[in-house]
Chains A and B, each alone.
Chain A
């Protein structure tokens, strides 16, 4: 289904967008990922979730809630802004907007599930892992990504994937979430 993206810039709608996931599919996908996290963490006491700003943060909260519901316990959730750890600052014309990271628990010894919406080059994940180690020394870090669109530039692979989406480099995958955008969906824009 081709729809015109509501936030298309300019006068004409030049991009087409295809819906990859609707709200129900997104919900089911997160439930399945939560079960996979439970399956791969037989000793869940040390589990903690850290979402990457912006869309990883609500996804981390949802995954933590789902895993918590399955295991009948609460898990700590943090938020990471990786702008200070980017490797492309010297290549950019304008500095990025940096926000604070909010990790109120001690990550040392934890099994951290790092959560992001779209996995692409892997550079964000590299920066996130660097930043997490500034807060302490986790026992392990696992990666959960709602979408894996390929085109990795670093040797990084996810442990939990919502959906693998083959893309061309110029295409754009947008994850929209109720908490930020008012609705749940994943679209690909060409």
Chain B
């Protein structure tokens, strides 16, 4: 029987992964996607393991996806949200995490508004730490599910033109996607209002443009990002209406894209702002398939990080 080359107890970000490791993860996710099509959608791989969803920042879809992924691997799941935890009583992240580890948890999935929070925990804990979004830094499972969807639909990633449109500055999805797609050989173009797409992103190995028509004309994949109201400290563009008119994917712009250009969105979508309602529901939109694939990718992440001998790597 063949074993994988995967040797991480944690998934902290895309930056740490090699191309081989990414491919290993995507291949593993292919196998787990098939589990969802069975009569019994559950395998015993993580039976007896406990996963904690530690969401210090609100989330519905990512938390639900991780929870379902763990349950389909037969792990037990506990959900902790800020309002229902001792964090409101003044407990530090370190103490919360050490308390969770004292309960013999095997996996901690963390979302935090501070970049680097998962990295901090990974040095502290023997449990596997999975980054479910840290500030505006990384959201690795979202990037992996996007890559999985592109690979599945287009058959490859290398050489494709991928345009990421919208709020890049405040988006961890954009950062993880840029790192992953450039690592896998795609040509990445970023577009949006200049206040949200600073030129400095060219240092990541991608192209920055403010001409939306030019950005989407040759794109094989258009990944639309939501305007992150909650992360913007001041208004970065005059109005939502103006954003929709200038940068939204409407029917006229959509008609000028390549006939096989694929439309992606990490959700939640704002219909009528970054994307027209009809385009979100059209045949070239893979928005709901991204959700299905997200489950398979998260199962693969949990399986690879926690589906082996308990490691003491990383513990202080």
Contact = CB atoms under 8 A, between A and B. Distances in A.
Interface of A: 81, 83-86, 89-102, 130-131, 133-136
B303 A134 contact: no
Given A95-B3, A95-B4, A134-B42, A100 B30 contact: yes
A98 B40 contact: no
Contact of A94 (B3, B27, B28, B46): B3
Interface in B245-274: none
Interface string B19-49: 0000010011011111100111011111010
Closest 9 CB pairs of A and B: A134-B40, A84-B43, A100-B34, A98-B31, A94-B3, A97-B2, A100-B31, A95-B307, A89-B307
Contacts of A130: 44
Interface of B: 1-7, 24, 27-28, 30-35, 38-40, 42-46, 48, 303-304, 307-310
27 contacts: A81-B31, A83-B31, A84-B43, A84-B44, A84-B45, A89-B45, A89-B307, A89-B308, A93-B308, A93-B309, A94-B7, A95-B3, A95-B303, A95-B308, A96-B2, A97-B27, A97-B28, A98-B31, A98-B32, A99-B30, A99-B31, A100-B33, A130-B44, A131-B43, A134-B38, A134-B43, A136-B39
B117 to A, nearest CB: 26
A98 B42 CA distance: 15
Contact of A97 (B3, B32, B310): B3
Nearest to A107: B39
A141 B28 CA distance: 28
B140 to A, nearest CB: 17
A136 B39 CA distance: 6
A133 B43 CA distance: 11
A14 B43 CA distance: 40
B308 A90 contact: yes
Contact of B6 (A95, A100, A101): A95
Mostly, the B contact residues are loop
Contacts of B31: 81, 83-84, 98-101
A94 B6 CA distance: 7
Contacts of A98: 28, 31-32, 303
A130 to B, nearest CB: 7
Contact of A92 (B24, B42, B48, B308): B308
A139 to B, nearest CB: 16
B4 A94 contact: yes
Contacts of A92: 3, 308-309
Nearest to A136: B39
A12 B48 CA distance: 44
Nearest to B44: A85
B278 to A, nearest CB: 34
Contacts of A97: 1-4, 24, 27-28
A79 to B, nearest CB: 11
A7 B304 CA distance: 28
B27 A95 contact: no
Contacts of B28: 95, 97-98
Given A94-B7, A97-B28, A133-B40, A83 B309 contact: no
Given A84-B45, A89-B45, A135 B309 contact: no
A184 B303 CA distance: 35
A91 B309 contact: yes
Contacts of A96: 1-4
A90 B38 contact: no
A93 B6 CA distance: 10
